[in-house]
């Protein structure tokens, strides 16, 4: 008798298994850049492919000197809203005798690990596309450090001095930077400075990682490389903790199985509904052609900044590697 995928897994249990792994293994999550938001997940469960997150803007104005004759002048507390978009994605895996391909002592764990790793990568790609799109908007210019045209090699590349300069884009919030996302080619340049430190992973999901000037180094080759790649034009990002909110997984059927008995093929279908939303940003839903945005649309000009500049918590650095 042929062992099929449906013989091996219970979709409800497997869905929780791979969903947790895909989040826990993500380096942006492990660094604290992406913060799980139960409130956002609850909003998603309320339905809709987009939604509103209302917020009160920070109180402004100077305090007044108290007087026995003059009353205080009341100040307002303006409200705003951030519009988020749900990313509804799916991926089916099919193979002849798929169960045999995952043979071993724990075939369920093997499948969950591979699928969780796949969705880990998809989450990072969606985030990087979002960052690309966010920083195409003119409202983000105050958080861009473009040093590609600086005078010398030392001022055109990412190093300890230009890193500190980029952090200052956040003003007095610069001390809250916890991580920097770089392409592997940029990581190689930073390693040569000899000031990175290796930190051993604290759990089974957390791999060893490096820090640079005390900030976690996230290495991801999905980060953009400029059109003139031979000149070493790269884009890196500095992040404060919780600068991106995560909600999900809320797909009605995250996992299903199927079998083509005539062809002898098993299919494992996975779906992932999630939100990856930069704090202080808002989506223009008119720029989304389908039901939910693609990575190409996320990377387009569908974003705008509605929060204060230094409270956004993300700085884009455009630099050379040589």
User: What's the pLDDT at 273?
Assistant: 93
User: What's the pLDDT at 86?
Assistant: 95
Does residue 148 share a domain with residue 111? no
How far, in whole angstroms, is CA 19 from its chain's centroid? Answer: 16
Which DSSP letter does residue 90 get? E
Q: Single out the residue in 188, 209, 244 at which a domain terminates.
A: 244
Does residue 257 share a domain with residue 126? yes
Classify each residue of 262-301 as buried b or exposed e, where b means 16 or more C-beta atoms within 10 Å of its C-beta: eeebbbbbbbbbbbbbbbbbbbeeeebeeebbebebbbbe
Nearest-CA neighbor of 89 among 307, 271, 297?
271
Residue 315 located in a structural domain: no
Full pLDDT tens readout for the chain, 322 residues: 456 777 777 777 778 777 777 887 889 999 999 999 999 999 998 888 899 886 555 666 788 888 888 887 776 655 568 899 999 999 988 776 555 555 555 666 677 778 888 999 999 999 999 999 999 999 999 999 999 988 888 899 999 999 999 999 999 999 999 999 999 999 999 999 988 898 876 666 666 889 999 999 999 999 988 755 445 689 999 999 999 999 987 788 888 888 888 877 888 889 999 999 999 999 999 999 999 999 999 999 999 999 889 889 999 999 998 7
Residue 278 located in a structural domain: yes
Does residue 179 share a domain with residue 298? no
Does residue 43 share a domain with residue 91? yes
Length of the chain: 322
Tell me the two tokens of residue 78. 């303006």
Rounded to 5 degrees, φ, ψ at 76 are -90, 165
Residue 313 located in a structural domain: no
Structural domain harbouring 215: 140-244
Residue 319 located in a structural domain: no
Helix (H, G, I), strand (E, B) or coil at 140: helix
Does residue 30 share a domain with residue 130? yes
Residue 27 located in a structural domain: yes
Does residue 122 share a domain with residue 40? yes
Domain count, the chain: 2
Does residue 277 share a domain with residue 159? no
Q: Which DSSP helix (H) or strand (E) runs through 319?
A: strand 314-320
Given the DSSP bridges, would you call strands 244-248 and 265-278 parallel, antiparallel or unpaired? antiparallel
Q: Single out the residue in 214, 244, 274 at which a domain terminates.
A: 244
Q: Single out the residue in 228, 244, 260 at which a domain terminates.
A: 244
Q: Are 25 and 33 in contact (CB under 8 A)?
A: no
Q: Are 266 and 111 in contact (CB under 8 A)?
A: no
Residue 147 located in a structural domain: yes
β-bridge mates for residue 265, sequence order: 96, 260
Q: Are 269 and 11 in contact (CB under 8 A)?
A: no
- Indicate the burial class of 161 (C-beta count within 10 angstroms; 0-12, 13-18, 19 or more): exposed
Does residue 17 share a domain with residue 120? yes
Residue 320 located in a structural domain: no
Does residue 156 share a domain with residue 32? no
Residue 314 located in a structural domain: no
Does residue 130 share a domain with residue 253? yes
Does residue 254 share a domain with residue 232? no
């Amino acid at each position: 008798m042929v062992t099929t995928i449906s013989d091996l897994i219970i979709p409800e249990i497997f869905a929780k298994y791979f969903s947790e792994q895909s989040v826990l293994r993500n380096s942006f999550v492990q660094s604290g850049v992406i913060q799980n938001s139960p409130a956002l997940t609850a909003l998603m469960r309320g339905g809709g492919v987009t939604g509103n997150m209302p917020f009160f803007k920070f109180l402004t104005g100077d305090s007044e000197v108290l007087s026995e004759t003059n009353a205080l002048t009341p100040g307002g507390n303006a409200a705003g809203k951030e519009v988020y978009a749900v990313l509804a994605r799916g991926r089916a895996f099919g193979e002849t005798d798929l169960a045999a391909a995952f043979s071993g002592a724990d075939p369920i764990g093997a499948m969950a690990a591979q699928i969780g790793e796949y969705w880990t990568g998809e989450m990072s790609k969606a985030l990087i596309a979002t960052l690309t799109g966010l920083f195409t908007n003119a409202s983000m210019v105050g958080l861009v450090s473009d040093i590609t045209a600086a005078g010398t090699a030392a001022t055109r590349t990412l190093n300890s001095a230009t890193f500190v300069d980029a952090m200052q884009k956040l003003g007095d919030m610069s001390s809250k930077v916890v991580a920097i996302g770089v392409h592997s080619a940029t990581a190689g340049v930073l390693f040569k400075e000899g000031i990175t430190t290796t930190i051993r992973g604290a759990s089974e999901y957390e791999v060893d990682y490096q820090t640079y000037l005390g900030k976690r180094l996230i290495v991801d080759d999905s980060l953009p490389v400029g059109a003139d790649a031979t000149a070493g034009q790269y884009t890196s990002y500095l992040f404060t903790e919780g600068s991106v909110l995560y909600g999900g997984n809320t797909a009605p059927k995250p996992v299903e199985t199927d079998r083509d008995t005539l062809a002898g093929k098993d299919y494992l279908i996975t779906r992932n509904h999630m939100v990856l939303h930069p704090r202080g940003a808002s989506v223009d839903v008119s720029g989304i052609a389908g039901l939910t945005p693609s990575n190409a649309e996320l990377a387009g000009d569908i974003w705008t900044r509605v929060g204060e500049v230094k409270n956004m918590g993300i700085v884009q650095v455009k630099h050379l590697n040589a």
